[in-house]
Amino acid sequence: MHKIIATKELAPKIKLFQVHAPNIAAKAKPGQFIILILDEKGERIPLTIAGFDDKKGTLSFAFNEVGKTTKQLGCYKEGDNISSIVGPLGNPSEIRKFGHVLCVGGGVMIAPLCLQIRALREAGNKITAVLGARKEDLLIFEQEVKRISNEFYVATDDGSKGFEGLDFLKTLVRTKKFQRVVVMGPVVTMKAVSEITKQYNIPTIVTLTPIMVDGMGMCGVCRVTVANETRFACIDGPEFEGHQVDFEELVNRQRMFLPEERTSSLLWEHLEGACHEKA
């Protein structure tokens, strides 16, 4: 059992939770993830670690309320318990001095990206950060990232804040000399950025979030094609070189259980009446 220490709404349907998990907090590194199970009948869902405090023994993660489990989790309050958390899983990000690093974050993945930016900054890198969201009110961690970056840009899909779309990155990548690019966000974002940086041959690290069950190499549902080889995101990743990833396959595989996920989510909303028990 892991007690929820604090909850925060970052944007509509995006929440940041801090939970008591001292052993995991003592070992967690940027880039790693956890898998949690809410209760006896719950599924195992992976979430990228967004922060840890070894002294307080806490761990934090952000999530988007899109499916049954995340919606249910969104109803949990401070003091509630999460049945199981396993981690830290996956390989930590490579943190060392690269020089000038472009960090692009989108949606909920901005939370773990912030953690990585902090580590890259401490390792002596110059950081240009680009944060994106569908629209202005969905943008999270803006002030936090702005504070720890050397240069900072915002982009939204509808242009409600900052640049409209990611096209401006083409100029940015051409004019600045980045030694490394880190992208954490939706597949479309990782794919778009990888395509831009490929022409300039800049190493581009993407964090893949395919479907997972055990998260420790046993089921193989998270398999992705990287450099024409099948790799498991859970134990070989989750970070890979973006220029080598088959994003199209990844998108198809992420959608494999979409009808079931919809059923589950709808049933939960109708039968459980979204949060009524926890309210």
Partner 1 sequence: MKKLRSKPKIKKESISMPKQKPEVRKKNFKEVALGYTEGQAIAEAERCLQCPKPQCVEGCPVEIDIPAFIRLLLERKFDEAIEKIKEKNSLPAICGRVCPQEEQCQQHCVMGKAGDPINIGRLERFAADYEMKRKAGTHSKQATNGKKIAVIGGGPAGLTAAADLAKLGYKVVIFEALHKLGGVLVYGIPEFRLPKKIVAAEVDYVKKLGVDVKPNALIGRLFTIPELLNNGFDAVFIGTGAGLPRFLRLPGENFGGIYSANEFLIRVNLMKSYAFPSYDTPIRIGNEVAVIGAGNVAMDSARSALRLGAEKVSIVYRRSKEEMPARAEEIENAEEEGIIFRLLTNPTRFLGDEKGWVKQMECLQMQLGEPDESGRRRPIPIKNSEFFIDIDTAIIAVGRTPNPIIQRTTRGLETTKWGTIVVNEISMETGLKGVYAGGDIVTGEATVISAMGAGKRAARAIHEYLHRKIRAC
- 119 vs 251, which CB is nearer to partner 1? 251
Distance, C-alpha 176 to centroid of its chain:
26
Distance in Å, CB of 112 to partner 1, minimum: 17
- 152 vs 268, which CB is nearer to partner 1? 268
State yes or no: residue 249 binds partner 1 (CB under 8 A): yes
Q: Could you tell me if 109 and 50 are in contact, meaning their C-beta atoms sit under 8 angstroms apart?
A: no
Distances (CA, A) of 66 to 72, 119, 264: 10, 29, 11
Per CB under 8 A, the list member of 137, 198, 230, 273 interacting with partner 1 is 230
Q: Could you tell me if 261 and 242 are in contact, meaning their C-beta atoms sit under 8 angstroms apart?
A: no
Three-state SS at 19: strand
Q: Residues 1 to 40: which contact partner 1 by CB under 8 A?
A: 23-24, 27, 37
- C-alpha 132/C-alpha 135 separation (Å) is 8
Q: Which long-range contacts (CB under 8 A, 24 or more apart) does 215-223 make?
A: 215/33, 215/35, 215/44, 215/46, 215/86, 215/89, 215/90, 216/86, 216/89, 221/253, 223/253
- How many C-beta neighbours within 10 Å does residue 53 have? 15
Distance in Å, CB of 214 to partner 1, minimum: 6
Which residues, listed in sequence order, are joined to residue 240 by a DSSP beta bridge? 206
Distance in Å, CB of 250 to partner 1, minimum: 9
- 70 vs 125, which CB is nearer to partner 1? 70
State yes or no: residue 217 binds partner 1 (CB under 8 A): yes
- 79 vs 259, which CB is nearer to partner 1? 259
Distance in Å, CB of 35 to partner 1, minimum: 9
Which residues, listed in sequence order, are joined to residue 63 by a DSSP beta bridge? 15
State yes or no: residue 213 binds partner 1 (CB under 8 A): yes
State yes or no: residue 171 binds partner 1 (CB under 8 A): no
Q: Residues 60 to 119: which contact partner 1 by CB under 8 A?
A: 68-69, 83-89
Q: Which spans of this chain sit near partner 1 (rule: CB under 8 A)?
A: 23-24, 27, 37, 41-44, 68-69, 83-89, 213-214, 216-221, 223, 225, 230, 235, 248-249, 252-253, 255-257, 259-261, 263-264, 267
